[in-house]
């Protein structure tokens, strides 16, 4: 490596003149002199010597951060390759700790026993919200403080502050220069940002218009424009000011005029509400010019943020930029991203792989200086997840190897892009396997790169592992591009969804900034192991901090480092002529949708450096993030001197709870998830025994009604039915039972993997579905325990006249029968039993004959948690002897909770009524949740990828055996071909198997052979009636073992053999299997309303949803479709306790929604106690406050 500019592999590179950097050199020299005078300069952390590689002994990455002083020793590539001959050893352990699911071994990176409780103080295994939040905050602050100290000790603060002030001032002057203010898009992008309703509206409109399919081009663009511009309370004229860009002012006037013509807000005469017929034909004088204007605007944004629509055009533009930069004394190179998005189908993966291979060949011979290209592993496989590790690591490593250039003189360096934090381990495994295979083939690549996200809590450990990998494979340069990370919002939500103990990313931006600087210091300290590091940033202060770690720009260049910025961003700061690489996206506008919107969001974020520039916030331009301790903030400063750590840690940035599991206003913790990200999880899972219920007094086998044990149980229940329990005894009972539910929830979380395996074995569920079910049961237990304490213990004081007291007090209804389903034998049965139990009633569980173990396990856990003998009893039967009918007819129960078919619910209802009539006994209460003919609407404005994901989850997850599963897809004809093609590809990527204990199985069998045969027969009848199977998974049905492949059936195909009305007539009952029926409408709101009315007439009302970005469509479907749970722009399954109380009406059930605040009221009676408080001779309370 030369001591001048880095990356000088190209013999044709021209050295830029040094004159433009003289002023910066003078500034640095003066700052260093000032620092030395104040004795604040530290020794340079790494001495740079001419070398090609250094290879000291491998250090233990777990001893702190494993920082080692660099010892550079020149070694040839040939010698290095000959020296590498160690056999391949499967690590078998995690490369990184898991911050989402902390375990006792987290600091050492060791493996955790997934079947154990995985306890970590205050983070898991507890329902104490306060301690969990406090512990999460304290752990995060401690880790961040360690990074802050490390970065601080390797940076010259005086030099950083001096450079930061100068760089910020230069950036401010450049950004607000007349040329940039009036001749560029920067002010416009900053003005219409995410913190203004106008900016949100325009970004939403651009996002929707760019992806409207050609089949809906006649009606959907104009509808979107009217909905977005005309139906919102937007004030574009408020953006017009004299000191703003001419482009901003002109756009404000134009948009305000358009909004006035299109229709003001809620005006019925001018808005969209009157046009419900046909396709809302466009008003040419308004709609066409506006559509053209929006298209042109998207083109401008594409040109600003992307290098070109093809790799050839991008290379031409990049070459022109490099030559121009050299003339101006700057050194600029490029890294190309062909923007392959996550593959949902194998066809997508093959298409993206071919695009990468083609781009690599073209870039390699383009003559561009030191080129780089980014590759997304998720674009090369639709199964890029930890549970598919065994199949995807080898597949992806082979594909990646075909993209890497070969030959000693190959200049192109391929970088593996960073993706979700849950894929970090998997990404590192693919990198390691690729290097191993290439070394075995004796064709080690010259270089390969990887992106590391500093906002990830494991960024430093990732760098440590990469250093080890570089030592293991020394013939290949392992380069790192350090970025802060762009998907913080997704990571925070995902941690909450999966029930993580802590967030995988830093919760505060300043912590991310600290992590970035600490990682930068580590890279600078290990340039021999990880050469030519790239620091991606648009923040002038961050540039100053990094240069202060190298003692100035000269050392930064000599160490082979470079800065990196995004094309279209950061031009206001020229990085002082230092080596800079431009990250250059390549592709057409419709392929760049996600990227463009994300760039706009980043530009407009309030925490963005560019936003600070636009707002002229000089006070934010030179903030030293390493100056203050986070522990000091937590203990006193940030939250006030008297605030304790526990109180301070209640919430994180933006109102988010400090713990991902604290979602319920501090009342309880959400159920803890399972750490699927551990690479050895499948091995440990296979070694874990499933939960085995005890054969004790909690359950017995039903023989018939004459069985002695059955008769004794019925007699005991009848006696309890008329025993009054109220007052103090009831309070004691509810208190004990609520405590038992909390304890039981902890026991379930301790054995969550064992219980999940039991559910898989008995009900044929996949791992993900089984874990979700266990978590749902935990949520039921904790929620009902909390509600019981809130609503059942203290009598409610009712309003009344003076001199009188009226109280409303709860008491149990009596023995309760819970008849559970097979599809959720643990969660739903647990919810039914726990609600009746905590209300003070004796509970009898009658599980489905095919899933008795789950009910018995619940009874065992509740007994171990503190339930008294006789509180919970399980009656096990088989399909031949029918214990359910005998229990219902016994007359021993005050109520019955049932989940199943509407036909059986009706029979139970009739039996209870007849029993009351015949015996003149109290009418038992029925709480029933039954099935649904659930519909999901997708119009032509929906993002196809998002709609595809929602459709697959809605009908195929859990093998379609959910009450909430989508049965009907109401599809806009304008998007039909594109969406169904994508759905078919997505189905082909699913793994369907009877082997549910294989953790990579996506869809398992149906509950029985009879269920599979019924579904198969239904599909055959539809095809005989002219319907067409348009999508299905790969493989053949195995009906004998219950295996039925998910499929999509078009009820009114394009051939026109079946009309919309006839299509609806073909489905009038629920098929409990992964069969999705497609009904196509012509795109008009009139026909959509007709289809929705037809669905309502069938009488079911459980779940429904709509996928749309059109406000009028959302309103129409939301208001028209009759259902109990409605979902917008997401799947229609997976209702969450308390957040999404579940239940329908009509043929879909009665009673309060499960998991709702009103649910427990069904299991108690209320007694009103009225007392005349004046009976003792006067109204004492009234007279006490009255003077004569």
Catalytic residues: 929, 963
Across 914-929, b (16+ Cβ under 10 Å) vs e yields ebeeeeeeeebbbbbb
Q: In what helix (H) or strand (E) does residue 337 lie, and over which residues does it extend?
A: strand 332-337
910 near 737, Cβ under 8 Å? no
Nearest Cα to Cα of residue 832 among 851, 845, 815: 845
90 near 433, Cβ under 8 Å? no
Q: In what helix (H) or strand (E) does residue 735 lie, and over which residues does it extend?
A: helix 728-750
1035 near 1063, Cβ under 8 Å? no
For the CA atoms of the chain, what is the radius of gyration? 33
Strands of 1125-1128's sheet in order across: 1028-1032, 1047-1050, 1075-1081, 966-972, 934-938, 1103-1107, 1125-1128
Q: Cβ atoms within 10 A of the Cβ of 624, count?
A: 16
Q: Which phi and psi (to 5°) does residue 967 adopt?
A: -110, -25
Largest Cα–Cα separation, the chain: 110
748 near 774, Cβ under 8 Å? yes
Tell me the two tokens of residue 777. 């049961």
Q: DSSP letter string over 784-845?
A: HHHHHHHHTSSPEEPP--TTEEEEEEEEE---EEEE--SSSTTHHHHHHHHHHHHTT--EEE
Name the DSSP class of 1142: B
Angle value at C-alpha 1008, between 1007 and 1009, nearest 5 degrees: 145
Q: In what helix (H) or strand (E) does residue 720 lie, and over which residues does it extend?
A: helix 708-721
C-alpha span between 552 and 297 (Å, rounded): 42
698 near 859, Cβ under 8 Å? yes
C-alpha span between 326 and 328 (Å, rounded): 5
C-alpha span between 780 and 762 (Å, rounded): 21
1074 near 956, Cβ under 8 Å? yes
C-alpha span between 289 and 267 (Å, rounded): 22
644-647: Cβ within 8 A, 24+ apart: 645/134, 645/137, 645/138, 646/130, 646/131, 646/133, 646/134
CA dihedral 904, 905, 911, 914 (to 10 degrees): -140
How crowded is the C-beta side of 335, counted as CA atoms within 13 Å? 27
Residues 6+ apart with CB under 8 A from 938: 947, 951, 969, 970, 971, 972, 975, 979, 1106, 1107, 1108
Nearest Cα to Cα of residue 120 among 107, 102, 133, 96: 102
Nearest Cα to Cα of residue 906 among 1159, 1097, 1162, 1148: 1148
Tell me the two tokens of residue 356. 């990468």
Q: Cβ atoms within 10 A of the Cβ of 227, count?
A: 27
Q: Cβ atoms within 10 A of the Cβ of 243, count?
A: 6
854 near 762, Cβ under 8 Å? yes
């Amino acid at each position: 490596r030369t001591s001048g500019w880095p990356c000088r592999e190209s013999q044709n590179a021209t050295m830029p003149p040094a004159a433009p950097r003289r002023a910066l050199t003078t500034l640095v020299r003066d700052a260093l002199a000032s620092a030395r005078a104040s004795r604040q300069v530290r020794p340079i952390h790494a001495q740079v010597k001419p070398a090609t590689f250094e290879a000291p002994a491998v250090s233990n990455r777990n001893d702190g951060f494993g920082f080692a002083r660099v010892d550079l020793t020149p070694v040839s590539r040939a010698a290095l390759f000959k020296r590498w001959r160690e056999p391949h050893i499967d690590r078998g352990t995690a490369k990184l700790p898991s911050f989402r699911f902390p375990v006792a071994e987290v600091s050492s990176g060791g493996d955790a026993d997934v079947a154990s409780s995985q306890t970590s103080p205050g983070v898991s295994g507890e329902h104490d919200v306060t301690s969990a939040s406090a512990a999460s905050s304290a752990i995060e602050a401690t880790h961040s403080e360690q990074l802050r100290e490390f970065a601080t000790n390797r940076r010259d603060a005086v030099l950083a502050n001096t450079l930061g002030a100068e760089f910020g001032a230069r950036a401010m002057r450049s950004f607000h220069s007349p040329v940039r203010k009036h001749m560029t898009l920067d002010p416009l992008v900053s003005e219409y940002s995410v913190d203004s309703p106008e900016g949100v509206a325009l970004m939403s409109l651009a996002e929707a218009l760019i992806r409207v399919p050609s089949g809906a081009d006649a009606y959907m663009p104009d509808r979107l424009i009217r909905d977005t511009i005309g139906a919102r309370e937007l004030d574009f004229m408020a953006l017009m000011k004299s000191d703003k860009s001419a482009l901003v002012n002109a756009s404000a006037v134009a948009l305000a005029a358009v909004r006035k013509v299109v229709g003001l807000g809620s005006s019925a005469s001018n808005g969209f509400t009157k046009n419900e017929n046909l396709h809302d034909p466009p008003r040419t004088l308004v709609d066409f010019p506006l559509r053209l204007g929006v298209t042109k605007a998207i083109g401008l944004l594409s040109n600003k943020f992307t290098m070109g629509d093809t790799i050839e055009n991008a290379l031409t533009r990049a070459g022109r930029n490099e030559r121009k930069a050299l003339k101006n004394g700057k050194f600029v190179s490029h890294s190309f991203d062909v923007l392959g998005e996550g593959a949902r189908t194998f066809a997508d993966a093959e298409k993206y792989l071919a695009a990468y291979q083609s781009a690599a060949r073209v870039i390699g011979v383009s003559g561009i200086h030191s080129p780089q290209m980014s590759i997304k592993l998720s674009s090369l496989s639709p199964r890029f997840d930890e549970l598919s590790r065994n199949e995807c690591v080898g597949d992806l490593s082979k594909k990646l190897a075909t993209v890497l250039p070969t030959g000693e003189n190959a200049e192109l360096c391929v970088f593996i892009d960073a993706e979700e934090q849950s894929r970090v381990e998997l990404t590192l495994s693919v990198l390691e396997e690729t290097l191993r295979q290439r070394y075995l083939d004796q064709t080690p690549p010259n270089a390969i790169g990887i992106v590391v996200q500093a906002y990830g809590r494991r960024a430093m450990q990732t760098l440590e592992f990469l250093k080890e990998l570089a030592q293991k494979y020394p013939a290949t340069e392992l380069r790192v591009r350090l970025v802060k990370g762009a998907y913080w919002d997704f990571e925070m939500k995902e941690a909450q969804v999966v029930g993580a103990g802590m967030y995988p990313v830093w919760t505060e931006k300043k912590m991310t900034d600290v992590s970035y600087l600490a990682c930068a210091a580590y890279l600078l300290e290990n340039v021999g192991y990880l050469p030519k590091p790239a620091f991606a940033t648009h923040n002038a202060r961050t540039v100053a901090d990094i240069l202060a770690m190298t003692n100035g720009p000269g050392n930064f260049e000599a160490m082979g480092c470079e800065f990196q910025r995004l094309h279209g961003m950061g031009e206001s700061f020229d990085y002082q002529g230092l080596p800079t690489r431009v990250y250059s996206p390549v592709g057409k506008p419709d392929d760049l949708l996600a990227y463009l919107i994300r760039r706009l969001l980043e530009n407009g974020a309030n925490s963005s450096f560019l936003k600070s520039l636009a707002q002229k916030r000089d006070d934010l331009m030179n903030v030293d993030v390493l100056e203050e301790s986070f522990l000091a903030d937590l203990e006193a400063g940030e939250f006030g001197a008297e605030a304790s750590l526990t109180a301070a840690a209640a919430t994180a940035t933006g109102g988010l709870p400090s713990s991902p599991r604290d979602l319920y206003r501090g009342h309880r913790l959400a159920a803890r998830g399972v750490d699927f990200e551990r690479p050895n999880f499948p091995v440990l899972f296979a070694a874990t025994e499933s939960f085995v219920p005890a054969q004790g007094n909690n359950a017995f086998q039903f023989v018939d009604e004459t069985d002695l044990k059955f008769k004794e149980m019925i007699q005991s229940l009848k006696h309890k039915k008329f025993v009054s329990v109220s007052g103090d005894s009831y309070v004691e009972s509810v208190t004990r039972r609520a405590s038992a539910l909390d304890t039981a929830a902890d026991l379930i979380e301790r054995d969550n993997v064992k219980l999940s395996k039991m559910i898989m074995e008995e009900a044929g569920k996949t791992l993900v579905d089984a874990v979700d079910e266990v978590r749902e049961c935990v949520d039921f237990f904790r929620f009902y325990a909390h509600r019981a304490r809130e609503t059942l213990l203290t009598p409610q004081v009712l309003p009344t006249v003076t001199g009188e007291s009226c109280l409303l007090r709860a008491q149990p209804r009596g023995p309760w029968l819970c008849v559970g389903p097979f599809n959720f034998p643990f969660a739903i049965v647990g919810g039914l039993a726990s609600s009746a139990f905590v209300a003070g009633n004796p509970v009898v569980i009658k599980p489905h004959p095919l899933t008795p173990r789950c009910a018995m396990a619940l009874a065992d856990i509740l007994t171990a948690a503190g339930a008294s003998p006789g509180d919970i009893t399980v009656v096990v039967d088989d399909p031949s002897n029918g214990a359910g009918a005998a229990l219902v007819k016994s007359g021993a129960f005050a109520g019955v909770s049932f989940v199943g078919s509407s036909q059986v619910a009706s029979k139970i209802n009739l039996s209870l009524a007849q029993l009351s009539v015949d015996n003149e006994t109290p009418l038992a209460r029925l709480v029933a949740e039954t099935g649904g003919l659930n519909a999901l609407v997708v119009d032509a404005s929906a993002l196809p990828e998002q709609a595809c994901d929602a459709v697959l989850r809605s009908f195929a997850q859990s093998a379609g055996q959910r009450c909430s599963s989508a049965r009907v897809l109401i599809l806009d004809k304008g998007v039909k071909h594109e969406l169904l093609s994508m759905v078919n590809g997505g189905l082909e990527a699913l793994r369907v198997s009877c082997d549910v204990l294989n953790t990579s199985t996506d869809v398992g069998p149906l509950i029985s052979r009879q269920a599979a045969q019924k579904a198969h027969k239904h599909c055959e009848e539809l095809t005989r009636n002219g319907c067409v199977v348009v999508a299905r998974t790969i493989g053949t049905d195995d009906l004998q073992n219950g295996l039925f492949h998910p499929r999509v059936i078009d009820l009114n195909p394009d051939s026109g053999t079946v009309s919309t009305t006839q299509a609806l007539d073909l489905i009038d009952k629920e098929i409990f299997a992964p069969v999705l029926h497609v009904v196509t409408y012509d795109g008009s709101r009139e026909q959509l309303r007709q289809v929705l009315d037809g669905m309502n007439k069938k009488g079911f009302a459980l779940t429904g949803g709509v996928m749309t970005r059109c406000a009028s469509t959302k309103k129409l479907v939301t208001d028209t479709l009759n259902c109990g749970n409605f979902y917008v722009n997401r799947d229609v399954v997976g209702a969450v306790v308390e957040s999404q109380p579940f239940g329908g009406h009509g043929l879909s059930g009665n009673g309060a929604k499960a998991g709702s605040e009103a649910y427990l009221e069904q299991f108690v009676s209320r007694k009103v106690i009225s007392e005349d408080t004046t009976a003792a001779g006067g109204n004492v309370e009234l007279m006490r406050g009255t003077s004569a």
